[in-house]
Structure 1
Amino acid sequence: MKEGISQEKLDWMKEVGIGEFDKPMKFYAPYGKHCFSEEYIANTTLEKIKAGYESTLPVEKDLLEKAHNTIDILLDWIQSKAAMASSVETTALPEVIKGTAELIKAVK
């Protein structure tokens, strides 16, 4: 048992794959996605460090792009419904749709 850590916690950590660092971590990137030891930074080429770091960025950028595309599709749909709304339908519908479209634009 490690000092101050119960066996129950150690067992759980092993079960879920939480491991111990071989070297003390001295540097980190935002959001805890990357931790680096001083030895790793000193002995690894900048290109390799950048490649490891940047490998996570396209995923984040891709998700953001997909979210914007989804908002665009939703906005187009809402605007088409607002254009098709007639006075026979509830008079509040066009205003609700217009307000929703404006809200989506503001969020985007």
Structure 2
Amino acid sequence: MSTTAIVLAVLLAGIFLLLGSAKLAAVPAMRQAASHAGMTTTHYRLLGTLEVAAAAGLLLGLRITALGAAASAGLILLMAGAVVVHLRSGDPAARCLPAVIVGALAGAHLVALAG
């Protein structure tokens, strides 16, 4: 496994462990974001569970490459969904930028695994 793939896996795992845990804990900022997007706290916690699972998959993927690839693919789909939710919620395109960037990093991780 390349150094690039390892660095991206650890970076993405850290990001999604933090964000997913905040959603699971339903911290006030996450409850507000869920409400803004028209989601219940339960739905937001489900997203948090998926994010934490993806973080675990990325870290386990350091040993089992296929698992890391599946986690990256899942994150790409989650981030595509996040962009759609932001746009449907009436957010300006700039609010989608974090999801686009993190989705691109997940895509780069997937490419690094294939290379």
- Bigger Rg over Cα: 1
> TM-score over 0.5 for the alignment?
no
TM-score w.r.t. length of structure 2: 0.33
* Higher share of residues assigned strand: 1
* Higher share of residues assigned helix: 2
Which is bigger in relative contact order (C-alpha 8 A, separation at least 6)?
2
TM-score w.r.t. length of structure 1: 0.34
